[in-house]
């Protein structure tokens, strides 16, 4: 059943099936035609042979014995092919032909006796003597069957080769479709460029054109969303900056301890809002995929700068932040892209590691790639959630860690654009999370 469903939903399978059925029907029709043709020819041949034997007997005035048949043959093979002469009305014992009534009409006719069919030619001599020349019909049927088989066997052989050849040809014809599917499957998540339509079979060209129109609409919608996020973040920066300045001026004024506590909470909320806006702008820039000029970045120098920036946060949470190993490498990357990735990955590791924990960093070079590994002693991420944490604004349930939920989304987006990958796994020792980011040494924008 599954095989039938597979053929039913496969263009290649259906084409091969219909071609095979067509060839089979043609072979069957050819076999029937060959059988009927040979049957007709064999009938005419037998009739002519019977007429000739009768004419030969008449021409040479040969006598027709009355007490026995002309042929008394015991071999089955000879019996099948024997031509028997019998005088009408005679009671010949041992004759192959049955007793024939004297009033049989002249001419060709077919009779049945003892389970056998006979083809007879009845004639009357000038002397008035009447006799019949007969032969079994089975010979005619055997000749017709042999002729049909002889005609059908080459067709069956050709049918087998044609079916196999048609499958190979159909598979070859569908090669561009498989190549196109592989090309689409290898695309990056944010690659919405139009599909190539040159050298594409005309049968699938309308489908590709429809896909390209859909990609154009999706790209337009995504660009609208990106512009909205970027514009909204820019528009909110000025009011937040003004509120922050007002809060700073208000902090210099005399107020009760209760009011100052509320002002402090207001300042914390404003700081979180500014961080969220900064992350939104970073996400918008990352999703915009700008074609910036590539430049060489020293991995060790960049990591030192990021560690200096992240050290105050680590010290405030009593986190042991350190580098286990660091291979020297220079990689090609757009400005700030790799720095944003590293900063977001480290910020996420520090925030989710409990006080007194540890965050270790290592970087190595292998197979023209830079492999960055960040291991923390935090609670880790369940395997079922490890893909969802890269979605914008997604936060793990059951955690009260402050943040925007955009850090990993930004890191994933930029890493994908740079031709790299990010993989999450459990820490090798005890609870925790290990982030493995792999970047090619010559990064290219997707």
pLDDT value, residue 189: 64
Please give the pLDDT value at position 94: 55
- Residue range 28-52: mean pLDDT, rounded: 81
Question: CA 415, CA 190: separation in Å to the nearest integer?
Answer: 12
- Structure letter (DSSP) for residue 160: H
The 3-state DSSP class for residue 86 equals: strand
Residues 64-88: tens digit of each pLDDT: 765 444 444 344 445 566 778 878 8
Task: Name all domains of the chain by residue range, CATH numbers in brackets.
Answer: 2-164 (no CATH), 205-282 (1.10.287.130), 292-440 (3.30.565.10)
Q: With CA atoms as reference, report the closest residue to 422 among 339, 326, 363, 345.
A: 345
Average pLDDT, the chain: 77
Please report how the helices 299-316 and 337-352 are oriented relative to each other, as an axis angle in degrees rounded to 10: 30
Q: Report whether 300 contacts 326 (CB < 8 A).
A: yes
Host H or E run for residue 168: helix 138-173
Q: What is the pLDDT of residue 436?
A: 92
Across the range 383-399, mean pLDDT stands at 79
| Residue 287: pLDDT over 70 | no
pLDDT digits (tens, 9 = 90+) for 288-326: 655 556 677 777 888 888 888 889 888 888 999 888 888
Count the Cβ atoms, other than its own, within 10 Å of residue 291.
8
Q: Which of 171-185, 188-202, 421-435 has the highest mean pLDDT?
A: 421-435
Q: How many CA atoms lie within 13 A of 265 on its CB side?
A: 5
Instruction: Indicate the DSSP class of residue 125.
Output: -
Please name which of 95, 91, 110, 102 lies closest in space to residue 129, comparing C-alpha atoms.
Answer: 102
Total residue count of the chain as it appears in this document: 446
Q: Helix (H, G, I), strand (E, B), or coil: what is residue 344? A: helix
Place of tokens 């896909």: 211
How confident is the model at residue 386, as a pLDDT? Answer: 84
Structural contact between residues 304 and 298, judged by C-beta atoms closer than 8 angstroms: no
| Strand 130-136, strand 116-124: pairing | antiparallel
Residue 115: φ, ψ to 5°? 80, 5
Per-residue pLDDT at 41: 81
Q: Provide the pLDDT for residue 446.
A: 42
Q: Which has more pLDDT, 45 or 78?
A: 45
Does 402 have pLDDT greater than 50? yes
How confident is the model over 274-289, as a mean pLDDT?
68
Q: Is the CB of residue 27 less than 8 Å from the CB of residue 132?
A: no
DSSP conformational letter for 446 = -
> Residue 241: is its pLDDT beyond 80?
no
Longest dimension (CA), the chain: 157
412 contacts 283 by C-beta, under 8 angstroms: no
């Amino acid at each position: 059943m599954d095989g039938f469903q597979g053929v039913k939903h496969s263009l290649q399978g259906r084409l091969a099936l219909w071609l095979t059925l067509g060839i089979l029907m043609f072979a069957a029709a050819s076999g029937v035609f060959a059988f009927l043709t040979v049957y007709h020819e064999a009938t005419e041949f037998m009739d002519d042979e019977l007429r000739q034997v009768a004419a030969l007997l008449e021409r040479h005035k040969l006598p027709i014995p009355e007490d026995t048949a002309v042929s008394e043959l015991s071999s089955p093979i000879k019996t099948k092919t024997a031509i028997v002469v019998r005088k009408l009305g005679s009671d010949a014992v041992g004759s192959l032909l049955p007793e024939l009534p004297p009033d049989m009409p002249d001419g060709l006719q077919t009779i049945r006796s003892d389970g056998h069919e006979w083809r007879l030619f009845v004639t009357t001599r000038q002397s008035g003597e009447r006799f019949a020349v007969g032969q079994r019909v089975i010979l005619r049927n055997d000749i017709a069957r042999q002729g049909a088989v002889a005609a059908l066997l080459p067709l069956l052989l050709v049918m087998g080769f044609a079916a196999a050849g048609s499958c190979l040809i159909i598979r070859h014809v569908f090669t561009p479709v498989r190549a196109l599917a592989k090309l689409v499957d290898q695309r990056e998540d944010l690659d919405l460029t139009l599909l190539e339509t040159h050298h594409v079979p005309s049968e699938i060209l309308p489908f590709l054109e429809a896909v390209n129109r859909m990609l154009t609409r999706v790209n337009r919608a995504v660009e609208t969303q990106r512009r909205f996020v970027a514009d909204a973040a820019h528009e909110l920066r000025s009011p937040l900056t003004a509120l922050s300045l007002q809060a700073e001026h208000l902090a210099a004024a005399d107020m009760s301890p209760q009011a100052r506590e509320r002002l402090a909470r207001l300042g914390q909320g404003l700081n979180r809002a500014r961080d969220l806006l900064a992350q939104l702008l970073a996400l918008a820039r990352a999703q915009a995929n700008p074609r910036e000029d590539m430049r060489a970045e020293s991995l060790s120098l960049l990591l030192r700068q990021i560690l200096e920036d992240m050290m105050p946060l680590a010290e405030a949470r009593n986190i042991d932040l350190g580098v286990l190993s660091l291979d020297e490498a220079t990689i090609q990357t757009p400005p700030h892209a790799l720095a944003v990735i590293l900063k977001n990955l480290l910020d996420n590791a520090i925030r989710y590691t409990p006080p007194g924990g540890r965050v270790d960093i290592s970087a190595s070079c292998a197979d023209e790639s830079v492999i960055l590994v960040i291991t923390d002693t935090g609670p880790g991420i369940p395997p079922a959630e490890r893909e969802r944490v890269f979605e914008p604004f997604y936060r793990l349930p059951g955690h009260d860690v402050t943040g925007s939920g955009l850090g990993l989304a930004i890191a994933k987006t930029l890493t994908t654009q740079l031709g790299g990958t990010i993989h999450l796994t459990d820490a090798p020792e005890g609870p925790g999370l290990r982030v493995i980011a792999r970047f090619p040494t010559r990064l290219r924008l997707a």
